[in-house]
Structure 1
């Protein structure tokens, strides 16, 4: 190994845990600072419990950092701070809504405290995932088990006595005083199942069939997987009335299929199937038709009373917020129905303005970029597809949610990752981040040194990665 190669290898494989700790301090400042700003803006004083709140938030973040430093020292140094900043900002906005709901008798609730509890559980599972799963390639052994588990989880809300309907969608299960959305866990299992299946069958799926307008279409005999996933997505739409999850699952499979095969023909076939499913859903299901009607003419469902038009209230709020927002306590985000969950972006746009919304979108963009970076440097095909799939979960979910809130596309009802109130989503997303960190740690970890000239060849290959 030459001196220059050794220097390059040292640069490529720096652990960067100190940089992560510095970024985590900034993320903690965002979360605690936003919480203090809410108290000053709404009540005119710093919240009395800010020391306990800030201490607990810091303990969670430091615990996650220490575990990453010990069991995944070469993991991406940016992912955890970005997630911590988003989660902290989400807690502050939810707390702001809690204060606003105090004057509304039927809405009084301590959502922020519950969200902090769910965050604690999410960080615990984040830590356990990193400790237990020392090599992401182990998950490939459970390809079909993960697929079966995902299907069973999607069927659970349909069982009588177990599933419950919330806001027209039957996607929840109730266990005593607790409720849970199994679809959030199913999306993680589906990514594992898709990655394991595609890494084995991608050569066959990449074979070209007929050629249409400079695009090689897939062979008819290879359409089985995408048709099966299309039917599963339609089943979610028909039986659970969950438009958001239906779009997420099918879009996720389509993205991973395209990345695995590098065939644009799959995108064309998937787009045609999506268009057919959307048209069928509009014709056959009233809840889909209502979403489209609200998208086309939102003022039709608005009568100037709080809560009468979810989309209109959000648009008015964001318009009132303008470029820099009204400031915490200066707006009326409580007028937006479900502002703490589905429409938290509307609340952020009203009080933090377009600037705040753009900052949030950029943070999500960083998460997706770091996931794709991990996929690029990963040395095995399964890890590449797994990282792409996990990053696509965030990309698709954010696009669908923010697109619906800004009236770019019809509303779907998904939550905004790490910002919205919702324990199932928050816990599942923390596990996704742990998996991404495990993949990046494996990808950036130095290759064991070999003897003689073979070591120089191997080192050169790693440097190129």
Structure 2
């Protein structure tokens, strides 16, 4: 008779990594823009575009690099964030290329004495740089909680980025707004990167101060009113937003920063009063500046009277018809659109592939296509909020929530401006619009969300079993 002793150790089994799901979604995220590219080329010239193969290989290579890095450095991350961003980026490249083929835009540029340069190749380069930054963030940022150490450094960094356009010789005044700087021949919009840096500061600050900010001294009309001394932070951020708007005439960035802070403040304290105060203060600030600052006042008048440019006599302030053309583009699209390459959104002019690129979607893909694009953006926000709910640390929760809020507010501000819901702000649609700063910064934002989701879903390491806890089973024949 012999005996055999088998020892079994209990270990923690974590959730599946779902990287194969991500890979399958990435395949669709590459195939759909390639088919859209072919469709646009056939509509424009009755033949496949000559760069179709290069475009497909380029987009596929970027998606493959992103997937390999996520599989290696963030194996438990959300499986949809990367495919969603890739799909939006790919469709944006197709729409930019489609507008590059417009003879009308080329003739307008030549009539104004400018050389017409295609934007799609440069945008593809910027997208590759964005993927490179995405890779760098995931490789270098092993744990998002390390960012908490740089709370106040982030505040200084954000202020520096916001003030750079005001530096003489560095900042540029483009169509009345000083939101750009010129470095080595390249135009950079520092505010796109500042939204990520300032989200780190807000998350670190609110994590420490949330208990004090949640205190209420009295109740008025069903709202808990915070103490006077606790209004300091929101007053400072409000004043900073107003100063940005006044000195740089940047309505979009002001709305973005202030809205992001109010949302994060509400999440941290769960006090509805902060939302009410935030909305009231933003309304007061916008009303005062909109009635005083000439550039903002012009945009408000254009928003209120978009078709005044066609009046006879034309008002002195009605010097652009872009809003009117964008609204007519949406109306021409109907439910299913005119088809890729068969619209006239190039009538909008120089900003058709940047600020107004959603108008091209509305005309050529119709209401259905517009809703599909907005749904893709909503899914990114939803996955970001889901990441915030799953995060195990308060800093990660606030950071993921803040970045998701910033992304959502930017989409709302841009879409609302193009559709005439709110005044046009000059911001660009994330991932889709022509602009290097926007696509690069948003790839970095997605990388941080992926890092937080990986940390949130990663199984906790199993404690080392003690001798008494081992399960020993004796098996006898």
TM-score (structure 1 length as normaliser): 0.93
2:83 alignment partner in structure 1: 81
2:345 corresponds to 1:333: yes
Aligned counterparts, 1:25-36, within 5 A: 25-36=27-38
**Separation in 1 of the partners of 2:184 and 2:465?**
64
**Separation in 2 of the partners of 1:277 and 1:331?**
39
1:240 alignment partner in structure 2: 248
| 3-state DSSP of counterpart to 1:441 | helix
1:217 alignment partner in structure 2: 225
**Residue in structure 2 matching 1:446, options 455, 459, 470:** 459
Q: CA deviation at 1:278?
A: 1.1
Aligned counterparts, 1:199-218, within 5 A: 199-218=207-226
For residues 83-125 of structure 1, give each alpha carbon's deviation from its aligned partner in whole angstroms, at most 9, with x where no partner exists: 0000000000000000014663343221111100000000000
Runs of 4+ with >3 A deviation: 302-305
2:396 alignment partner in structure 1: 383
2:20 alignment partner in structure 1: 18
**Separation in 1 of the partners of 2:329 and 2:310?**
14
* Cα RMSD for the two superposed structures: 1.8
Residues 104 and 346, structure 2, Cα contact 8 Å, conserved in 1: no
**Residue in structure 1 matching 2:336, options 324, 334, 347:** 324
**Structure 1 residue runs without a partner (length 5+):** 1-5, 457-465
For residues 345-368 of structure 1, give each alpha carbon's deviation from its aligned partner in whole angstroms, at most 9, with x where no partner exists: 001100010111000000011000
For residues 22-64 of structure 1, give each alpha carbon's deviation from its aligned partner in whole angstroms, at most 9, with x where no partner exists: 0000000112111111111111111112111111111111000
2:41 alignment partner in structure 1: 39
2:443 corresponds to 1:430: yes
| 3-state DSSP of counterpart to 2:49 | coil
| 3-state DSSP of counterpart to 2:225 | strand
Residues 378 and 442, structure 1, Cα contact 8 Å, conserved in 2: yes
Q: Tell me the matched-pair count.
A: 446
2:137 corresponds to 1:135: no
Q: CA deviation at 1:176?
A: 3.0
For residues 185-233 of structure 1, give each alpha carbon's deviation from its aligned partner in whole angstroms, at most 9, with x where no partner exists: 1111000000010001101111012211111011101011101001110
Residues 388 and 400, structure 2, Cα contact 8 Å, conserved in 1: yes
1:311 alignment partner in structure 2: 323
Aligned counterparts, 1:59-78, within 5 A: 59-78=61-80
Residues 164 and 171, structure 1, Cα contact 8 Å, conserved in 2: yes
2:472 alignment partner in structure 1: none
Residues 156 and 173, structure 1, Cα contact 8 Å, conserved in 2: yes
1:401 alignment partner in structure 2: 414
**Separation in 2 of the partners of 1:104 and 1:425?**
24
**Structure 2 residue runs without a partner (length 5+):** 1-9, 110-115, 470-477
**Separation in 1 of the partners of 2:22 and 2:194?**
30
CA change 1:405–1:265 in 2 (3 A) is same
Residues 75 and 438, structure 1, Cα contact 8 Å, conserved in 2: yes
| 3-state DSSP of counterpart to 1:233 | helix
**Residue in structure 2 matching 1:170, options 175, 178, 188:** 178
For residues 353-391 of structure 1, give each alpha carbon's deviation from its aligned partner in whole angstroms, at most 9, with x where no partner exists: 011100000001100000000010100000000000110
**Separation in 2 of the partners of 1:287 and 1:301?**
17
**Separation in 2 of the partners of 1:85 and 1:53?**
13
**Separation in 2 of the partners of 1:318 and 1:275?**
28
Which is helix-richer, 1 or 2? 1
**Residue in structure 2 matching 1:290, options 276, 298, 301:** 298
CA change 1:230–1:101 in 2 (3 A) is farther
Q: CA deviation at 1:450?
A: 2.5
For residues 293-347 of structure 1, give each alpha carbon's deviation from its aligned partner in whole angstroms, at most 9, with x where no partner exists: 1121111023699x94111101111111100100012111110131101010001
Q: CA deviation at 1:157?
A: 0.7
**Separation in 1 of the partners of 2:448 and 2:77?**
10
**Separation in 2 of the partners of 1:287 and 1:102?**
28
Whose relative contact order is higher, 1 or 2, with alpha carbons under 8 Å and at least 6 apart?
2
2:102 alignment partner in structure 1: 100
Which deviates more, 67-76 or 35-44? 35-44
**Residue in structure 2 matching 1:253, options 248, 261, 286:** 261
2:404 corresponds to 1:413: no
**Separation in 1 of the partners of 2:278 and 2:320?**
36
2:348 corresponds to 1:348: no
Which deviates more, 204-213 or 142-151? 204-213
Residues 13 and 445, structure 1, Cα contact 8 Å, conserved in 2: yes
**Separation in 1 of the partners of 2:92 and 2:428?**
12
2:50 alignment partner in structure 1: 48
Residues 303 and 309, structure 1, Cα contact 8 Å, conserved in 2: no
Residues 137 and 383, structure 1, Cα contact 8 Å, conserved in 2: yes
